[in-house]
Structure 1
Amino acid sequence: MKNALSFVFILSIIFAQGQEKTRLSLEHYKNYEWTSNPTLSPDGEQILYSRTWINLVDDKRETDLWIMNKDGSTNRFFLKGSSGKWSPDGSKIAFTNKGESDGTNGTQIFVKYLGVEGEPTQITKLEKSPSSLEWSPDGQYIAFTMHVSSEPALKPKGVPKKPKGADWTKAPQVIDQVDYSQDRIGFIERGYRQLFIVSAEGGTARQITFGEYDDVSSGIAWSKDSKTILFSSYQKPEAEYARGQSNLYSVNINTLNVKELTSREGTESSPRVSPDGSKIAFVGSTFSKNFYNDRKMYIMDADGSNLKCVTSNLDQTPSSPFWSSNSLGVYFNVREFGQSNVYHANLKGNVKKITKGNHMLSMNDMVGADAVGTWSDPSNPSDIISFSTKKSNNINQLTKVNEDIFYNVEFGEVEEVTYESVDG
């Protein structure tokens, strides 16, 4: 009996030692994962999201697509790739991943047919990496943006031609753009980001915007009839010198006719078309010489008329509009007091706070009253959540991607300290 008690005592000591808390360290970071871009299937029953992890062998980050039921059950790996987008009928998913293009491996657009055996279909062979994928409402096309290279008007003279196979110093570069380099990247290849479409079944991508200005710097949106695409740009002479300026435009995918929808002094971005196709919501700011100009949420008719600010009484900055299913209001994210939550504004400008909490919650998609987003707090970084826009305090955490590395980590206490600003 005495030996048995001694054995139990020893086991309890070992168990207690195994549960000792540790401090957060760089070793934990090697196994850290990020979640992002959760989207609901059109029927609202499944959630597709991106999961990023660190490849220690190749010293880089990699992203996979995961899928789960709307309640978080059956959470599983789906595909290698990122930027997943459901087709309007929910039968397909478009995404980006490494693919073949003229013998080189670059990022391409793929389509995975759900419920059908076989590998995803690569539908593009692009020279540059695509971004901002958006399905047309009729499911026939996928719009995206891509950098289009251009040559400077001036070229260096007197530079001898390099023999084939020679390993020379790089040739002189002619810089004639204001934005020619970027932190952590270096020199940026000359050119502009343009808008393209490609058939959802594959084929040659077709460029539909042109000119020496960047198109689609902050998201694109299709019209309800799938005939035009909305984008943010500044299509004026010497546009790169116009800081703090952008307008909303629409381009007809067949005629390539571009129409300017807004012409205010300031910025307009993140257009979103209402479900009934009658209105457009976007984020904008009025131009001033201040370094920072506060943004507001605006709504206008689909032709650009009847512009109205619906957050004039909100002393915070909105982002990422999402229309309610009845087209009578807009949901959006707001960062305030070290937190991020979701708000709603109706067409009259009445604003209501939807989620509450000391956290960073960003809404990413919604179907009906069901919404999904990303969530973190001081001790729980980067997870997927769901909530109903019709109920309060109903945030459901669906993933715990870092629980396996943080289960015995003792985080420091976080204390909120508030100071009064110069203007109160």
Structure 2
Amino acid sequence: MNLPLQDLKILSLEQYGAGPFGSVHLADLGAEIIKIEDPRFGGDVGRHTPPYAEDGDSLFFEAFNRNKRSMVLDLGNPRGRAVFERLVKVSDAVYSNLRGDVPAKMRIRYEDLKHLNPKIVCCSLSGYGMTGPRSKQPGYDYMLQGLAGWMAVTGEPDGPPTKSGLSMVDYSGGIVAALSMVSAIHAARRDGVGMDCDVSLYDTAIGMLTYLATWHLNEGFEPQRTHHSAHPSLVPFQNFPTADSWVVIGCAKQKFWERFVGVLGSPEWAREERFATPASRYKHSAECVKLIEAELARRTTAEWLPLLEEAGVPCAPINTIPQALREEHTLARGLIVETEHPRFGTVRQVASPVRAGTPRTEHVRAPRMGEHTETLLAELLGTGTDEFAELTRAGAFGVEEH
């Protein structure tokens, strides 16, 4: 099966979540992601993330590293560094998610590697970027959700600032890094000159403020947490309690509002001056929502959904994670994939949502640490058994324990 990115080779000094999340989509699209793991620290820290972790294998690691290969290499060892530089010559990119000042210290920027390969792309995904007053600080999703204002607009108005239930800054940052890297590789192949990609979780988090930032910067609007996760301008567009659980309903257009009030049995609301237009509903949102809540509380979610869906009103149940994974649409879209693992057996996980042509149907489990070191060096550099043994003795792959 010809996959869109199968001619890409990326050396990845990645670890934990954000970095591997970005590259796993490229791996699913066929790119050769070569995980360079540091033997001095047990490789990718994600290998040891509980609760389902044992001897360098973890289900956390499996979720971010399918379809990749692993090589152990000590870049602090002169022979290990020499091997890395030889790999740079035959690769398209060097990808890392380390603190912003670390790429310079490790000499993995374009300026450090262009003499080896003028077309090499050096993509750094860090917490705060390579420049700026916070560049030397470690950055994590939790901190970024607070610093970038996300927590200030999440949760109930009378509740505390709240983090998203998912690590959305990490995941968004990974996607941004992948897009930046593929774009830079395209340009390097076109122009013959590589470049740095200075991507940060901070930039990603600030960039995703989008229209809220525009409203504030131009009109002084200050976003606040809203009742039941209500949209800041569209009414009704929020979570509503039913007789037994919750449903989310969104009337993004006037026609949806008119259909919705028909389902509720109150079509006259659409003609009332206070609710007749999006602007009037916004002005009288508290009254509007109170009336809707009273009506929806009369029936269960299972009773309301068919009526709303048949009328063409945008709606959805508020599922638990197990319910979401069992959704008929989840299965129909091929969003659950399987790999075989010697420790965990058949591992089921979610597929990449990135689609370009026909999605791959066969996936390979995440690699054991250093599983492909000898094979990759033979394939890419032509090293034989004797040279590999000599590099091993020289400590290129770490110091062997006796």
Q: TM-score, normalised by structure 1?
A: 0.27
Which structure features the higher share of helix residues?
2
Q: Which has the higher strand share?
A: 1
